[in-house]
Chains A and B, each alone.
Chain A
Amino acid sequence: KAGVTQTPRYLIKTRGQQVTLSCSPISGHRSVSWYQQTPGQGLQFLFEYFSETQRNKGNFPGRFSGRQFSNSRSEMNVSTLELGDSALYLCASSLVTGGSEQFFGPGTRLTVL
């Protein structure tokens, strides 16, 4: 069974731009979660989607948004990029929502200049 895939793997943007990251979960997994990882703040939860509905949302500004499609693939969007948005963005999928075992993708490394 193929693992979680994320595209693109690396991205360089400038301040003020927007970016869309994509995540394809493991086949059959209906829950997708997004995390931001930085050296200073560690791993922080962004949001979780299950069956196209946002179930949980972390403490991030409205510039961070996401969605999930009927095939469980998910995208997250960051608008008006700031330097502090430079991070590794990780997507994880699981069979059910909530705090079950999560399967992580390799991440998208976003650099904001």
Chain B
Amino acid sequence: SQQGEEDPQALSIQEGENATMNCSYKTSINNLQWYRQNSGRGLVHLILIRSNEREKHSGRLRVTLDTSKKSSSLLITASRAADTASYFCATDTNQAGTALIFGKGTTLSVSS
């Protein structure tokens, strides 16, 4: 089963609004990463937050991590049409024989 589960599965907003996506996971992690994928293309790394960090910022992105609840959120402020994409969380677990485990993603649609 998936380690990370994003919520919601789909999100539609207007330009200028904020978008919040959530990710829950099941096992302990070393770090959690967020990636963006434009339709049918490769993924782009957005941000990495380590298990001992609680919040991280990068431009219009803000990521929080709550290890006690095994959850993370990605906030995109002042959304633009160009932010339309699928967003995935990926966890680096302590399990031997595995690498990054991705969730199924949130599809964000930003309309102008």
Spell out A's residues near B (CB within 8 Å). Answer: 4, 33, 35, 42-45, 48, 55-58, 88, 90, 92, 98-107, 109
Contact = CB atoms under 8 A, between A and B. Distances in A.
Given A42-B2, A42-B105, A102 B45 contact: yes
A106 B105 contact: no
Contacts of B91: 99
A98 B91 CA distance: 11
A56 B43 contact: no
Interface residues of B, number: 26
A99 B99 contact: yes
Nearest to B45: A101
Contact of B42 (A42, A58, A104): A104
B2 A104 contact: no
Interface in B51-100: 88, 90-93, 97-100
Nearest to B2: A42
A64 to B, nearest CB: 15
Interface of B: 2, 30-31, 33, 35, 40-45, 48, 88, 90-93, 97-105
Nearest to A97: B99
Contacts of A55: 99
B40 A109 contact: yes
> Binding site of A, secondary structure by majority: helix, strand, loop or mixed?
strand
Contact of B97 (A35, A57, A103): A57
B92 A104 contact: no
Contact of A45 (B31, B33, B43, B98): B98
A55 B44 CA distance: 23
Contacts of B90: 99
Contacts of A58: 98
